[in-house]
Chain A
Amino acid sequence: QQPVQSPQAVILREGEDAVINCSSSKALYSVHWYRQKHGEAPVFLMILLKGGEQKGHEKISASFNEKKQQSSLYLTASQLSYSGTYFCGIYFAGGTSYGKLTFGQGTILTVHP
């Protein structure tokens, strides 16, 4: 039931764009994106709700495709500060637990000057 993230790692130069995907085999209610820098705690980026619109956070945006049970995170004109590991966390529809987020294995993003 763990979501699958792709790619596992991506290397960029400053200013380049990247897309990180998160897929689930079960029906999703919401997708949550976090970024974690080395040695630090995960930091919240955004939540996408079922039936919701594409959300944005500066030059980072995301979409939620309900039919495909997939979310994509778009990083535009990447900056050095974008480097880190990106995790998607999914909350399953119809679940009995209202607090359980199941995280993917992460995508390591490295931005070089």
Chain B
Amino acid sequence: GAGVSQSPRYKVTKRGQDVALRCDPISGHVSLYWYRQALGQGPEFLTYFNYEAQQDKSGLPNDRFSAERPEGSISTLTIQRTEQRDSAMYRCASSLDRLAGPGELFFGEGSRLTVL
């Protein structure tokens, strides 16, 4: 596809279950970012990759959150033992290259996670 693709678009899970959110960036984009966005708030940085290397994971809330991008393309954000406070829109973004800082980010439609 032409844009950043995320799946699933909606995920409802019970507290304590693990979830995996997938992001397929725009072809050729070097950098990939994960953000979390609460309703009515700006995106909150979680982590980002340059090719397959996770360059910064300082925004991951705790060790239940992890992300990988093993082949430098598709990325997976995994949340273990989900809690209700994890409920949010999780957005992936990609950019063509990295200047001295993030360039133009192309955001996906997001995965809305609801933890019951």
Contacts and interface: CB of A to CB of B under 8 A. Distances in A.
A47 B99 CA distance: 12
Interface of B: 31, 33, 40-45, 48, 50, 55-56, 58-59, 91, 98, 100-110
Interface residues of A, number: 25
| Residue of A42, A43, A91 with most chain B CB atoms under a 10 A cut-off | A42
Contacts, number: 73
A103 B42 contact: yes
Interface stretch (A59-67, A74-82, A92-100): A92-100
A49 B31 CA distance: 19
B24 to A, nearest CB: 14
| Residue of B55, B91, B105 with most chain A CB atoms under a 10 A cut-off | B105
B109 A100 contact: no
A100 B34 CA distance: 10
Contacts of B110: 41
Nearest to A30: B101
B108 A32 contact: no
A84 interface: no
Contacts of A106: 40-42
| Residue of B43, B48, B100 with most chain A CB atoms under a 10 A cut-off | B43
B101 A91 contact: yes
A104 B41 CA distance: 8
A41 B91 contact: yes
Given A98-B98, A99-B50, A42 B45 contact: no
Contact of B56 (A29, A30, A99): A99
